[in-house]
Every structure is written in structure tokens, then in C-alpha cells.
């Protein structure tokens, strides 16, 4: 019988997998085990004896954390990933799915992003330590497949949002930061300030869809190359701002602060490979995803990561 181990259990994706209430799954968070320690990792894998692993654990941060600690982000993530994959190999794990992210793609690349372009250039200088460490997951997967025949694969989701995200205003990704800012603007009866023009487009995917897809990948996707997970639907920051404002019932002033950077205008990703494998998968709409996320945020504030 199969036994799945999920690393990063207290993070956004690990939590979304937990919500699916599957049987025979063991969840490990950083409170249970420091994955940077190989011997402890091996010991726990020998104890749990997982047949399958979904590896979501990582040391992550916003631009601030990434810029201040490129060395630490590089080393910690390299250790976590090499330890998990090596312990999985040594304990005979049949299948392992690990998470990368579209933010590790080359800074100068052609859009839409495609799996085959992952290594074709330097990542953005603001997160190069993290990005290179994450890219090594793909290298280790392929090397282990070639030498040991391991069935280890990786997935590359676009902008994930949902419950259990990091809602830091300064360091959070755009949607959790916006949700937190609108909440405070309503509470304090002050204008809500959005960074930039609101025009840029992003592909937002709800965490529970990514959880479901990762389980499908675990059972069905056996290619050695990574697969991008996205609906392929782009929404502007402005659309998302109005959706969140409506859900939070914020009626105050919304200011788009154009002195703040917009960043890249678009970062579209190619979902041809996903569509080829799963032509009928229905991603939930941003309306539904934001509604669920804001409900969770309101029910759990102030005990959220922020
Ligand atoms: P991400 O925050 O890592 O997802 O960064 P991206 O560069 O992919 O997207 C951020 C986009 O949202 C940019 O156009 C920002 O100008 C805009 N934005 C507006 N308000 C905020 C905010 O409060 N926090 C963040 N991170 N981005 C914001």
C-alpha cells in the first residue's frame, strides 16, 4: 500500500494538500524536522517508510529577504533539496514530486515561459541564490534518473495564492499583501494604496488546485522534465484589487501609487504540456478563489503569517 509523505506541511501548498483529507499521508513541517540535517532526515524517512513524497518545503522570502540573504537562501535550499532527494533515493521512494516556481526562470527570456527554457540564462539578480538552488532540483532529478532510475519529477506553478500564505505587507506576494492592506484600510478608515499602475498582468492559481494537480502528477506524470502548472489565464492587478475590495466590502478611496514600480508587465507561461496531459482540468475562478481566501483571512486574523 502506498504511503505519501508531504514536506512543508505548514506552508500554503502543504496546508492545501491537508485540506483534501487523504488517507495514508504523513505531514512533516519544520517543527517536526530540520530538513537541512541529512542524518535526521534519513532517520525519519527510514522510520516513516514513504512510498511517495510531495516535497514543498523551502526557505522562501520576498524581495527583501532574498536580497539580504542570497547566501543563506542558496545554502538552506540546496541542503533541503539534496537531503530530501538523497534520503528518498536511499530509502527506495517510488515517486517524488518537488516544487519549483516561475520566479526562478531566466531574467531575460522569451515569453510565454516554457519548461525547456528553465536553464537558459541567469535568474533575476534579486533572487539568484534561491533561484539557482531551486533549479538544482531539476538537475538532481535528471541525474538520479540517469544513474539510479529514480522517478523524481518537478512542477513549476505560477503565482499561487490561498489560505496559509505569508500575508506580510512589506514582504508578501502581491495578493496576500493586497488583502492585508485592504483589511487595514477598511479597519482604520484610510485610503488603500496599491503599488504601481495596476495594469500588470499575472497568472494567479489557487492553492487547492495546485494541491489537486500535485496529486495527479504523483500518480500519473512520469516524465523526467518539469511541468508548468497554470490555468493560462491572466488577470490585471487592478482586477484583483477590485475583487478583493468588493469581497472585503471596502468602500474607501483606492489609490494607484505610480511612483512604485510596476515590475514586469506580463509573465505569461505556457501550459501546453499540462493541457496535453489533463485537457479537462478546471481551475477555479479568481472570483471563487479570492472569496475563499478572504474568508479564511478574516476568520484567522490575527493568527496568520504576516
Ligand atoms: P510578487 O509580489 O512576487 O507576486 O511580484 P510580481 O512582480 O509578480 O507582481 C507584483 C505586481 O503587483 C507589481 O505590478 C506591483 O507593482 C503590484 N503590487 C501592487 N501592490 C502591491 C503590494 O502591496 N505588494 C506587492 N508585492 N506587489 C504589489
Each residue of 106-120: pLDDT tens digit?
999 999 999 999 999
Residue nearest to atom 17 of ligand 1 (CA): 195
Q: Which of 113, 185, 263 to mutate to test the pocket of ligand 1 (most atoms within 8 A of CB)?
A: 263
Atom of ligand 1 nearest to the CA of 260: 16
Residue 66 confidence class, pLDDT cut points 50, 70, 90: confident
Residue nearest to atom 1 of ligand 1 (CA): 173
Strand partners, 192: 254
Q: How much is the pLDDT for 65? A: 81
Residue nearest to atom 18 of ligand 1 (CA): 195
More confident residue, 84 or 263: 84
Each residue of 220-266: pLDDT tens digit?
999 999 999 999 999 999 999 999 999 999 999 999 999 998 988 99
Q: Tell me the average pLDDT across 68-87.
A: 97
Q: How much is the pLDDT for 1? A: 87
Q: Tell me the average pLDDT across 16-23.
A: 97
Residue nearest to atom 15 of ligand 1 (CA): 262
Instruction: Give 278 Cα–ligand 1 centroid separation in angstroms.
Output: 30
Instruction: Give 3 Cα–ligand 1 centroid separation in angstroms.
Output: 38
Strands 227-229 and 192-195: unpaired
Residue nearest to atom 12 of ligand 1 (CA): 174
Superfamily for domain range 163-202+233-266+287-300: UDP-galactose 4-epimerase, domain 1 (3.90.25.10)
Instruction: Give 196 Cα–ligand 1 centroid separation in angstroms.
Output: 8
Residue 233 dihedral angles phi and psi, to the nearest 5°: -95, 130
**Nearest one of 35, 52, 57 to 44, comparing CA atoms:** 35
Mean pLDDT of the chain: 96
Each residue of 177-186: pLDDT tens digit?
999 999 999 9
Q: How much is the pLDDT for 217? A: 98
Count of other CB atoms within 10 angstroms of residue 208: 20
Instruction: Give 37 Cα–ligand 1 centroid separation in angstroms.
Output: 34
Q: How far apart are the first and last CA of the chain?
A: 39
Instruction: Return the active site residues.
Output: 130
Alpha helices in the chain (DSSP H): 12-18, 38-48, 63-68, 70-90, 128-148, 174-188, 207-220, 237-248, 272-277, 286-300
Domain 4-160+203-229 listed as CATH 3.60.150.10: no
Domain boundary assignment for the chain: 4-160+203-229, 163-202+233-266+287-300
Q: Which of 126, 174, 183, 203 to mutate to test the pocket of ligand 1 (most atoms within 8 A of CB)?
A: 174
Grid cell of 305 as nine digits: 503569517
Q: How much is the pLDDT for 263? A: 86
Q: Which residues line ligand 1 (CB under 6 A)?
A: 159, 173-174, 177-178, 181, 194-196, 200, 202, 237, 260-263
Amino acid at each position: 500500500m502506498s504511503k505519501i509523505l508531504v514536506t512543508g506541511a505548514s506552508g500554503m501548498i502543504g496546508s492545501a494538500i491537508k485540506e483534501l483529507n487523504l488517507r495514508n499521508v504523513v505531514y512533516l513541517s519544520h517543527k517536526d524536522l530540520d530538513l537541512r540535517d541529512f542524518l535526521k532526515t534519513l532517520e525519519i524517512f527510514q522510520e516513516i517508510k514513504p512510498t511517495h513524497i510531495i516535497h514543498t518545503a523551502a526557505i522562501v522570502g520576498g524581495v527583501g529577504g532574498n536580497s539580504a540573504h542570497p547566501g543563506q537562501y542558496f545554502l538552506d535550499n540546496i541542503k533541503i533539496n539534496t537531503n530530501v532527494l538523497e534520503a528518498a533515493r536511499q530509502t527506495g521512494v517510488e515517486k517524488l514530486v518537488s516544487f519549483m516556481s516561475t520566479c526562478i526562470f531566466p531574467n531575460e527570456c522569451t515569453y510565454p515561459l516554457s519548461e525547456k527554457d528553465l536553464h537558459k540564462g541567469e535568474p533575476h539578480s534579486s533572487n539568484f541564490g534561491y533561484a539557482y538552488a531551486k533549479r538544482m532540483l531539476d538537475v538532481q532529478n535528471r541525474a538520479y534518473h540517469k544513474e539510479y532510475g529514480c522517478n523524481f519529477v518537478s512542477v513549476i506553478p505560477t503565482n499561487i495564492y490561498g489560505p496559509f500564505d505569508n500575508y506580510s505587507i512589506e514582504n508578501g506576494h502581491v495578493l496576500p499583501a493586497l488583502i492585508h492592506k485592504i483589511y487595514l484600510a477598511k479597519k482604520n478608515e484610510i485610503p488603500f494604496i496599491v503599488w504601481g499602475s495596476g495594469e500588470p498582468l499575472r497568472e494567479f492559481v489557487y492553492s487547492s488546485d495546485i494541491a489537486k494537480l500535485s496529486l495527479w502528477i504523483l500518480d500519473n506524470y512520469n516524465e523526467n522534465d518539469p511541468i508548468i502548472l497554470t490555468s493560462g489565464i491572466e488577470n490585471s492587478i487592478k482586477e484583483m484589487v477590485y475583487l478583493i475590495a468588493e469581497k472585503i466590502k471596502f468602500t474607501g478611496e483606492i489609490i494607484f501609487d505610480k511612483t512604485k514600480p510596476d515590475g514586469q508587465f506580463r509573465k505569461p507561461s505556457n501550459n501546453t504540456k499540462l493541457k496535453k496531459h489533463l485537457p479537462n482540468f478546471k481551475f477555479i475562478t479568481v472570483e471563487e478563489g479570492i472569496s475563499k481566501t478572504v474568508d479564511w483571512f478574516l476568520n484567522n486574523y490575527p493568527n496568520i503569517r504576516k
